[in-house]
Structure 1
Amino acid sequence: MYHEIAEELIQAIESGQFTTKLPTEQQLMNQYKVSRNTIRRAIDVVYQHGLLRRVQGSGYYINELQLQGKMTVNLSIGAGKSLVKHGPLKSQVVTFDKVNAAQIPLAQTMKISPDEDLWRIIRLRYLNDTLYCLEEAYYMRDVVPFISTEALETSVFDFLKDTYDIDPYSSDDFMSLVTIGPDRADLMDLRPGTSMLSLAQINYMRNNVIFNFSRSIYAYPGFSFYFHSAHLSSN
């Protein structure tokens, strides 16, 4: 139950319903007709997503740091989910095929056997008719036996949620600066040797099983990432 409440609170914050601070715990308890413990667990999820800062004795204030950039993606929520407020991504599929883990250097990264079969999806993604990124993604075929071609044009994650009830629960994110080779440069209409920001992600299901690995090279102007960090006191 608290996950559903947390999702509603996140949507309310992103839509601008709450601009300064959250309602009090008591107000939220009355609204959702749940216990204080349930509300606190929901608020904790929203806090972990980097959308709130806690002020002792005053409540939970909306954290607007992630909104400062023209195009800021909040990775505390998830690269895909946090794009909703910017508009839907459209895709141009370059490759959609089946590969063996032994064919690509991913077995160790994904902690899988080299004999494992994967879906490979390479696509150019566009936001507001501007190139957003070049994405290369791999999905475990024993977890995801089928991916529709319609999903490739929009959101594979939405398809997985609707079809298999697979939702990214956590991810390992690795950012780096990469030099674009001739093949990628041609796809992205860039000069070979151009340095671009890249994000590699390993996505886990709720049972801590990896279902997806992706690497995206970003090209959108004014693009930036936002991370939320909670620092533990040593006292």
Structure 2
Amino acid sequence: MLKYQRIAEDMEQYIVDNELRQGDKLPVLEDLRKKYEVSKSTITKALELLEMKGIIYQVRGSGIFVRRHRRKGYINLDENQGFRSGLDDFQLTSEVLGLEVVTPSEEVMANLSISAEEPVYQVKRLRFIHEQPLCIEESYYKKSVVPFLNEQIVSESIFTYLREGLKLKIGFSDNFFHIRKLDEDEAELLSLDAGDPALYYESVYHLPNGEPFDYSKLVYNYQEAQFYLQINSF
């Protein structure tokens, strides 16, 4: 983790620990620079990261203010740090439904920009929140980028493994949503009825150089899932 990222993480924890709310003012840039004993550019990067995450906002000539008014239990639709991000206070578990190396389908090839000769890991999981089924997840990882997965890794946080185990940096993601009805197999897994509504969510995650490496499809239980999306500028 880079210095500015550690500072941003520390500032975010400070906001949480002190129960700061929307509009509360934070120390000015120069005070932050002295506190962390770093350059102005390092503090600026940390503030830009927090602003991008929707945690603070800056007003020229007035200062730095707390922005986030997080609703407990809501999933951030604009979060690139994995499924668990923002749900730290909740009991999240996974049931692994499948893990194998497969030949990519046309759909997977198109989303990961690969040929049929490049193998991928296929991971299927049922995700729970407080023991209630939250979503069905089906993910495909380029084996050239993610060379090894096992059941222990995929039963926990794959993104933590990618960041800490493989030292991968996640660049950005493209996300697509639509509403449809559950089929019988999906309904059984989510403890719902066939024909019930569901949010269908597709994501393609990229490395910082733009290479796609993870194509994921999730079907959310409408009774358990809540989402939010913050807009940073117009």
**TM-score, normalization: structure 1?**
0.87
Task: Please report how far the alpha carbon of residue 198 of structure 1 lies from its aligned counterpart in structure 2 after TM superposition.
Answer: 2.2
Q: 1:45 maps to which residue? A: 49
1:194 pairs with 2:196: yes
Instruction: Decide which of 167, 172, 177 is 1:170's aligned counterpart.
Output: 172
Instruction: Decide which of 93, 96, 107 is 2:96's aligned counterpart.
Output: 93
Please tell me whether the aligned partners of residues 73 and 90 of structure 2 are also in contact (alpha carbons under 8 angstroms). no
Residues 168/180 of structure 1: CA separation in 2 closer, same or farther (3 Å cut): same
Residues 122/222 of structure 1: CA separation in 2 closer, same or farther (3 Å cut): closer
State how far apart, in whole Å, the 2-side matches of 1:113 and 1:88 are. 39
State how far apart, in whole Å, the 1-side matches of 2:178 and 2:25 are. 34
Q: 2:27 maps to which residue? A: 23
SS at match of 2:231: coil
Task: Please report how far the alpha carbon of residue 81 of structure 1 lies from its aligned counterpart in structure 2 after TM superposition.
Answer: 5.0
State how far apart, in whole Å, the 1-side matches of 2:187 and 2:106 are. 20
1:54 pairs with 2:58: yes
Task: Please report how far the alpha carbon of residue 56 of structure 1 lies from its aligned counterpart in structure 2 after TM superposition.
Answer: 2.9
Deviation digits for residues 20-56 of structure 1, max 9, x if unmatched? Answer: 2332212211121111121111101110111122233
Matched AA of 1:171: S
Provide the identity percentage. 28
State how far apart, in whole Å, the 2-side matches of 1:187 and 1:222 are. 13
Please tell me whether the aligned partners of residues 205 and 214 of structure 2 are also in contact (alpha carbons under 8 angstroms). yes
Residues 203/28 of structure 1: CA separation in 2 closer, same or farther (3 Å cut): same
Please tell me whether the aligned partners of residues 84 and 157 of structure 2 are also in contact (alpha carbons under 8 angstroms). no
Aligned length: 229
SS at match of 1:217: strand
Deviation digits for residues 178-227 of structure 1, max 9, x if unmatched? Answer: 22112212222221121111221111122222121111112264633222
State how far apart, in whole Å, the 1-side matches of 2:18 and 2:136 are. 30
Please tell me whether the aligned partners of residues 131 and 220 of structure 1 are also in contact (alpha carbons under 8 angstroms). no
Please tell me whether the aligned partners of residues 46 and 52 of structure 1 are also in contact (alpha carbons under 8 angstroms). yes
State how far apart, in whole Å, the 1-side matches of 2:114 and 2:98 are. 22
Please tell me whether the aligned partners of residues 89 and 154 of structure 1 are also in contact (alpha carbons under 8 angstroms). no
Please tell me whether the aligned partners of residues 75 and 82 of structure 1 are also in contact (alpha carbons under 8 angstroms). no
Task: Please report how far the alpha carbon of residue 122 of structure 1 lies from its aligned counterpart in structure 2 after TM superposition.
Answer: 0.8
Residues 186/223 of structure 1: CA separation in 2 closer, same or farther (3 Å cut): closer
Q: 1:71 maps to which residue? A: 73
Instruction: Decide which of 145, 149, 154 is 1:143's aligned counterpart.
Output: 145
Q: 1:12 maps to which residue? A: 14
CA-atom RMSD in angstroms: 2.1
Query: Bigger CA drift: 109-118 or 74-83?
Result: 74-83
Instruction: Decide which of 121, 134, 137 is 2:136's aligned counterpart.
Output: 134
Residues 11/133 of structure 1: CA separation in 2 closer, same or farther (3 Å cut): farther
Please tell me whether the aligned partners of residues 133 and 220 of structure 1 are also in contact (alpha carbons under 8 angstroms). no
Please tell me whether the aligned partners of residues 121 and 140 of structure 2 are also in contact (alpha carbons under 8 angstroms). yes
Deviation digits for residues 107-131 of structure 1, max 9, x if unmatched? Answer: 1122222322111111111122122
State how far apart, in whole Å, the 1-side matches of 2:168 and 2:199 are. 28
SS at match of 1:83: coil
State how far apart, in whole Å, the 1-side matches of 2:165 and 2:215 are. 19
Matched AA of 2:117: D
Alignment gaps of 5+ in structure 1: none
State how far apart, in whole Å, the 1-side matches of 2:195 and 2:146 are. 35
